[in-house]
Structure 1
C-alpha cells in the first residue's frame, strides 16, 4: 500500500506542483529525454525540470516518464553548484537525497520495479538562461529490490524547460 501511494505520488508530481500542461507534455520538436534501460530503448513521454530549495540548498529535480504498460520514470535530485547556472557534472551518490537518481516501473498503478542508482553521473552540458532550458547526458548503475544489477546507459536530454517551485 505504501509503495503504491509513493508510486502514485511520483507520477502525479508535475500535476501536484501545479505545472501547466504545456510544460508537462513535450513533443520531439521540444524537449527530449531518452536512454537505454535493461538493453531496451526508453523515451520519456513527458519531462520535468524544476528548481527548489532543500535544506537551504538549491536543487534541480530532473525527471522523465514514459507512459504505457508498464509506465517507467527516471527521477533525479541534483544539488546545484550555482543557482543561476546549472551546467556541470553531478556524480550520483547512494544513501542521500542529494545527487541521487532512481528508476521506477509501474504496472496498473502498482510498483513492479525500482532501481536506486549508486553510481553514475548526470551532466548538464548546457543551461540556456534566455530559454530557461537544460540539455545534457546521463548514465547510472544500481540494484533493484532483489539485488540484481541494472544499468541505465546512453541517457540524453535536451531542451527541457526549467521552472521554479
Structure 2
C-alpha cells in the first residue's frame, strides 16, 4: 500500500516547499497576489491542506498522526510537522500510520494487508486521497489509478 501510494503521489505533484514558499511570498507582499487570490487552487488552499514529502501528505493529517490538534497548531508545531513530512523516513512513517488509521475506519479493518482484495486496496487509496470525501469521483479515480500502477510500484521496490 505504501509503495502504491508513493507511486501515485509522486507522479505530477508539486513539491510542498514550492507551494509553501509561493504562499509565503504572497503573504509577505513579495508577489502581486494575496494568499487567498493566488492563481492556482493548490496555492490558494489553506496552509494545513498543503501536502509535503515524497508520499505527499497534508500538514493537518501529519498533525493527527503525530498527536497534535490540527485545528490549533502553533507556527512552531506547523514547522515541526512540515520538517517531519519532508524527511523521507519520517514521511513514510507518517503516511503508513495514516493508512493504518484509514484502514481501521473501513469495513475491512481486520483483513490482513496481504489478504486485502483489489477493491479494498482501491478503497484505502481513495480514503488516503479524499478522507472524508473518499467516495467522490475524483478520489475514486485516484483509487483506480493506484490499482493500475500497483505492479509498477511493486517492481520499483524490488
Q: Which has the higher helix share?
A: 2
Q: TM-score range by the shorter chain?
A: under 0.3
Choose 1 or 2 for highest CA Rg: 2
TM-score normalised by structure 1 residue count = 0.23
Q: Higher strand proportion, which one?
A: 1
